[in-house]
Chain A
Amino acid sequence: MKNNDKEVKRDRPWLMRTYSGHSSAKASNELYRTNLAKGQTGLSVAFDLPTQTGYDADHPLARGEVGKVGVPIGHIGDMETLFDQIPLDKMNTSMTINATAAWLLSLYIAAAERQGVSPDQLQGTTQNDIVKEYLSRGTYIFPPAPSVRLTTDIISYTVHQIPKWNPTNVCSYHLQEAGATPTQELAYALSTAIAVLDAIRETGQVDASAFANMVGRTSFFVNAGIRFIEECCKMRAFVRMWDRIAKDRYGVEDPKLRRFRYGIQVNSLGLTEPQPENNVQRIVLEMLAVTLSKNARARAIQLPAWNEALGLPRPWDQQWALRMQQVLALETDLLEYGDILDGSPIIEAKVQELVQGAEKEMRRVREEGGMVQAVETGYVKRQLVTSHTARMRTIESGDLNIIGVNCFTETAESPLTSGTDSGIMKVDAAAELEQIERLKAFRAGRNDADVEAALDNLKDTARGGENIMESSIRCAHAGVTTGEWSNVLRNIFGEYRAPTGIDISAQSMGRSDTVELLRERTRRTGEDLGRPLKILVGKPGLDGHSNGAEQIAVKARDVGFEVVYEGIRLTPEQIVKAAEEEGVHLIGLSVLSGSHLELVDDALKRLAKLGLSELPVIVGGIVPVEDEQNLKAQGVAAVYTPKDSDMNLIMADLVNIIREHNGLKRFEDAA
């Protein structure tokens, strides 16, 4: 459609969703139905971390995490409750699920069948992109090879049985959230898509014509940051590059099947804790990046809320985010025009530049042996950590302006955060216990023989090479739980720990005076205490937010600490054991999942048991103010949250905390 065409019709608005789910299937079902009534046109399900990592609510690793950051789905009963009174033949449901995607999709199919809806009527998306889990999102379970097999099983199953399903949503969203530049986002997302499609081609489960359809059904989940012109060009670059890949690499002739179809959540990493109202401007501007070009417009948009960096959004906060979309789509004239950027030489030049940069990085990935290999060797993760470190350094130096954070910090008191709930959603602590009760009741009510038989069948399928879906759907109907399904596969496939990527060279270390001063202090304190200062940065629980821990680890190394960091998803017990064996001077725990109270308490108790209560413990992450007091009362030496964006100050603090705990005088002047 051309601009000059008189009969320009209003384009259809994109799909509007909010990513949500919490406490229990019942509570989330109510939330979904209210959201739908408010005009939301699709559902986007957030699962809690135990569900995403394959544990039942009563598993020790699930402690403190049940129903926190998403809805717990332990079995078919939960899935039926989640979609109670929501007709699945009419709904478009997006599920952010990866390692356990085959299982959750099976539960969804089984729940639909019980509503009388056959699989071929279902519409929606399973995220099902394991590569970015290893790189950023952290809810992986199995090693790469069996994980890729599960991914391809879902794809080849749906392409035949659920033709309207988007079986995989290749994600670069999470890569930008872990620091990726636009070029890296392009290169790694497209390399991932290639890795997956190549793998399917190799399985031979799909014939040539179905394969073209599958290329057509491959969708993407992308990010848009605050540099919205560049981001807009990035989307155009994606469209161009994917079209070429589909045509040249996979021989797809039909241009429709070569379209770059994508959903989007705008950047959240840049959303700030100080002056959180500014996040609204950021979110709206970022939304422009993915809507301005008609030819590269998002199909589905999901926006974070103004209080993103404070904690979980309340229904009102999510409503506000939804209204931003509605205003843009329905009040403005945006959808009345063709592509307003076509023909702009400036835009074209930028798109070219991004395409070339991305192609270069894709060659680099090929040299590593492809995307999966490049993940296993740690190459890609190191690139991301390097980019994120560079970003942090520019914030520190003030080269990158973040309003309210490193400039214009003066502010009047905000009425948004002064309410009794401090402006965030609190999940009822009873939710976990209730979920465990329901789980026990469910287990008691099922037919054990059916469950056993279904699990045996799953084992055989997993060991053999057939598609995992049929036997998983059978498990779903038989009443198998999320933990049981995952355990069978854990035992057969093994578990994996991804590279941490923090072993980056010190090129971006900075040699500013502050850093020199800090190094001097670290060195001197080490001398005072007889040996170099050594700290352990630990990530307890199922939380996958590694950015903060990685950045603290790299920074601490750069100012002269010896740093032990072992990656995400360790138990407090493992962390405490490591702290003892390593003889560290301080333990830093990083928790962003909301389970800090339970996890820190556990760690402190274990330290006391080992006679290490004198070891200073500090906590960083998303910690509400009341909890901060609580933690300190338990003996935590300091608490850091996103507002503590100056890592030099944090480092100066660490040295002083160690000094005080060892009877030395603090360094007084601010670093």
Chain B
Amino acid sequence: MHCPKCRGVMRTYTRSGVHIEQCDNCRGIFLDYGELEALSRLEAQGPGWAAAPPPAAGTPPVQVHHHHGAPVHHHRPYHGGGVFHMLFST
């Protein structure tokens, strides 16, 4: 595989378990959205003072099939007083 920018040789390396392509010549990195998302999830979790992640961190919300209608994603809603203002007002 060749670099789409400079036609240099692309090499695959593994970063946090995610494969990424880097050009030997221009050092350009090529990755798709899913790979970028995986790296952001693994490498960008928080500052030193961040809250401990909840036990389900990193896993998708549980899918529950209701007896009629489409599957519904269940998660903690953002409605209640305090959190609504934090998201929606200065």
A and B are partners in one complex rather than unrelated chains: no
Chain A residues near B (Cβ < 8 Å): none
Chain B residues near A (Cβ < 8 Å): none
